[in-house]
Amino acid sequence: EVYAMLETVKKNQSSEEISTVDRDKIDFAENGIHLRKANTSPIIRIYNEETTPAEADYIAQKMIEVIKALVA
C-alpha cells in the first residue's frame, strides 16, 4: 500500500518540516524533496529541486534508501 508507505516515511522524517499541500514535501535544512503516489502504478515518485543533477540524484537516492529500510 503506497499511501501507507508515504505515511510511514512522513512519520520517520517527523523532525523535518513536512507539507502536504499538493503532495508530500519534506524540507530538510538545505534542500527538499517531494513524494507522490503515481496515479497509474503502485509506485512512489520522487521529485526534488537541486542546483545540479548530481545533487538531485544524491538526495533522491538517500530517500530511496529510507523507503527501502522502512519496507524491509
Q: Which of 29, 63, 30 is nearest to 46 (CA)?
A: 63
Q: Give tens-digit pLDDT for 43-57.
A: 888 888 888 899 889
| 26-to-32, 40, 48 alpha-carbon distances in Å | 6, 23, 10
When the pLDDT of each residue in the chain is averaged and rounded to a whole number, the result is: 82
Q: State pTM to two decimals.
A: 0.64
The pLDDT score that the predictor gives to residue 4 is: 81
For 43, half-sphere exposure in the C-beta direction (CA atoms, 13 angstrom radius) is 7
What is the pLDDT confidence band of residue 22, given thresholds at 50, 70 and 90? Answer: low
The answer to whether 13 touches 26, Cβ cutoff 8 Å, is yes
Per-residue pLDDT at 40: 83
Mean pLDDT of 54-67: 89
Say if residue 21's pLDDT is above 70. Answer: no
